[in-house]
Every structure is written in structure tokens, then in C-alpha cells.
Amino acid sequence: MEQMKPTDLELKIKREKEKVIILSVVSNTALVILKIAIGLMTGLVSIVAEALHSANDLMASLIAYFGVKQSLKPADKDHQYGHGKIEIVTGWIENILIFLIGVGIVYEGVMKLVHRTEPTLVWAGIAVMIFSGLLNWTVSRYLIKKGKELRSVGITVDGEHLNADVITSLGIAGALIALALTKVWWIDPVAAIFVGVWVIGIFVRLSVTLTHQIIDRGLDESEIAKIEHALKEFEDVKDFHRIRTRQSGSTIFIDMHVKVDGGMTVLESHDLTHAIEMKMKRFYGDCNTLVHIEPFRQGGGGMDA
């Protein structure tokens, strides 16, 4: 199967996706280096552990980058519908990492309660946690926003992964500050348990999103209404039915039956089909549209083949 040359719009989307995910890799790399340096300078094992947590985030970002990059490869002989589902596979790997982080945080919180471990308050460490939380909040908001705009599950999951780190970093910093002010030793482990449960909640929510893509859930009703409205704008479209949609990674697949005047030539119907395909690409960017043309019969409708 000959590979289709990507359009300028598809190339623009590809470059945008790669730029977004590279930002995540760069920010996580910077945080790993900063936390390791502060951890070694202060001698705090907790900061070094948080550096390893950020290293986990970095690994997740690299997985997301691989998934997004591979999913953008054009269709070939063995993958005639493209490579979009690679992004779902890597999204699941990232999601499992989120779950393991959540479970690990809950476990550490429980162990601290059992053994009554009181953390050492070091303001340099608290400052690093706050800085880490604010940086990851900024990057995660951007990634989630761009993931939705580009319909990239890999970018969205990576943004949610960083969002989990925001809660852990600021939660730990807040708990340590509260501990310093109140001297109540169990604030730190209880806060850690709440943070861990919240992170596991992210895993559950993303699991639903990823599963919907695996089972080829269609676009929501508002998107279908947008497609129907667009078809009504074509003068040669007399009627339409059987609009079906699904999403594979960031690629949208749309099938539709369009009824036209029975006297329309093959060339005219081809031009109409091409115009509809381009309209869908303007809506969704990475979009594969299949239009089935049927003759329109006044009063009798078309052939529902």
C-alpha cells in the first residue's frame, strides 16, 4: 500500500503535538536535576525520593512522546488505518504509572502513621516542592488544553500525570507547613493518604477515557450535530443518514451516506465528496472521512445500501 502524503494541515498538527510533548520532557528533566541537587545539599531523603517521583514523570513523558510520534506515522501496508492506537497503548502505560504513584503515596502515608515518623522540616525542601507544584501546574494546564484541542489522548494523559504531581508536591509542602505551625505529627501522613487517593481517582477517570477509545466510542451528540449542520450547507446534498464516528488515538474516522440528485455525474459527486472531506479536516484536523453517495428520490428517499 502506497503511503499517502500528509497534507499541510496534518504536518502542522504533527509539529504542534511534538512541540507540546517536548515541553513536558524538558520541564520534567529540569525538576529531576533540581530536586536531586537540593536533596544532596540538604541530606533529605524525602527530597531525593521526590526527585525519583519526578524521574517517573520524566519516563512517562518520554513514553507519551514515543506514543504521539509513532501514532502520527502515515498508514502503511500492515496498518491501513494508521497508527493512532499506539497512542492509546502508551496512554495506558502512563495511566498505570499514575496508579502506582497513588498506591505508593497511600502506602507511605500508612507506614508513617503506623511508625509515627515525624518529617524533618527544611524550608529549602518546602520551597522546592512549591516551585515544582507551580511549574507542573502551568505545564499540565497547557498540556491538557492542547491535548483537547489536538484530540491527542497521549498529550492529555501526560498532562493529567503532571497534574497528579502538582497535588503531591503542593500537598506535601502544605502538610509540612501545617506541621511546623501546629506541631501535630499526624498531619503529614494523613495528607499523604488523601493525596494518594486523589491520584488513584485520576487513574480511574483516565481509564474510562482510554477504554472508550478502545471500544470505538463515537463522538458526542454536539459533534454529530456540527457534522449534520455542515452537510446542510452543501447545496448538492439533498439528504444524509447513517453518520458513524470513532476515534483512534488523535485520528477521527467518519462514515456517512449522502444522497444527491440522480443525474449528478461521477466527476461532480467526486468533487462533492472531496469538499465534504476537506470540511471535516477543517473541523478535526487529523480526520479520515468516507462518503457513500446515493441517488435521492423525491418522496422515496435514497437507497439505504
> Residue 278, by phi and psi: left (phi above 0), alpha (psi -120 to 50) or beta?
alpha
CATH number at residue 287: 3.30.70.1350
- Say yes or no to pLDDT of 3 above 80: no
Per the prediction, the chain carries an average pLDDT of 79
- Residue with the bigger pLDDT between 178 and 2: it is 178
- 239-248: strand order across its sheet: 239-248, 251-261, 287-297, 301-302
Residues 85, 173 within the same domain? yes
In a domain? residue 2: no
- Choose one of 214, 232, 267: the last residue of a domain: 214
Residues 289, 186 within the same domain? no
Q: How many independent structural domains does the chain possess?
A: 2
- Say yes or no to pLDDT of 70 above 70: no
- Whether residue 260 contacts residue 293, with contact meaning beta carbons closer than 8 Å, is answered with yes
- Say yes or no to pLDDT of 295 above 50: yes
In a domain? residue 204: yes
Predicted confidence at residue 299, as pLDDT, reads 60
Residues 264, 151 within the same domain? no
In a domain? residue 51: yes
- Choose one of 181, 214, 247: the last residue of a domain: 214
Give the CA distances from residue 137 to residues 41, 46, 289, in Å, rounded to whole numbers and listed in that order: 26, 21, 37
In a domain? residue 251: yes
Predicted confidence at residue 209, as pLDDT, reads 80
- Residue with the bigger pLDDT between 88 and 305: it is 88
Residues 29, 102 within the same domain? yes
Mean pLDDT of 246-266: 87
* 303: confidence class by pLDDT, cuts 50, 70, 90: very low
Predicted confidence at residue 239, as pLDDT, reads 93
In a domain? residue 187: yes
* 244: confidence class by pLDDT, cuts 50, 70, 90: very high
Residues 134, 253 within the same domain? no
Residues 233, 273 within the same domain? yes
Least confident of 51-55, 148-152, 191-195: 51-55
What residue type is assigned to position 303 of the chain?
Answer: M
In a domain? residue 3: no
Strand partners, 290: 255
> Vertex 24, ends 21 and 27: CA angle to 5°?
150
Mean pLDDT of 165-189: 79
- Residue with the bigger pLDDT between 82 and 178: it is 178
Mean pLDDT of 143-169: 80
pTM, rounded to two decimals: 0.61
Predicted confidence at residue 1, as pLDDT, reads 43
Residues 164, 263 within the same domain? no
Predicted confidence at residue 302, as pLDDT, reads 45
Residues 36, 77 within the same domain? yes
Predicted confidence at residue 259, as pLDDT, reads 94
Predicted confidence at residue 120, as pLDDT, reads 63
Output helix, strand, coil percentages for the chain, rounded to the nearest 5: 70, 10, 20
Strand partners, 289: 254
Residues 210, 232 within the same domain? no
Predicted confidence at residue 138, as pLDDT, reads 93
Q: How many CA atoms lie within 13 A of 22 on its CB side?
A: 7
Predicted confidence at residue 2, as pLDDT, reads 45
- Say yes or no to pLDDT of 243 above 90: yes
Residues 84, 162 within the same domain? yes
Helix segments in the chain, DSSP class H: 8-42, 45-71, 85-115, 123-149, 153-182, 187-214, 221-232, 266-284
CATH number at residue 91: 1.20.1510.10
Residues 242, 135 within the same domain? no
Q: How far apart are CA 281 and CA 287, in angstroms?
A: 5
- Say yes or no to pLDDT of 206 above 90: no
Mean pLDDT of 272-299: 88
- Say yes or no to pLDDT of 127 above 70: yes
Strand partners, 252: 247, 287
In a domain? residue 53: yes
* 23: confidence class by pLDDT, cuts 50, 70, 90: confident
Predicted confidence at residue 123, as pLDDT, reads 77
In a domain? residue 1: no
Residues 22, 166 within the same domain? yes
Residue 244 lies in domain: 221-302
Give the CA distances from residue 29 to residues 42, 54, 57, 297, in Å, rounded to whole numbers and listed in that order: 20, 8, 9, 63
Q: How far apart are CA 295 and CA 263, in angstroms?
A: 8
Q: Which cell numbers in the block locate residue 27?
A: 520541564
- Residue with the bigger pLDDT between 164 and 299: it is 164
* 44: confidence class by pLDDT, cuts 50, 70, 90: low
- Choose one of 214, 229, 254: the last residue of a domain: 214
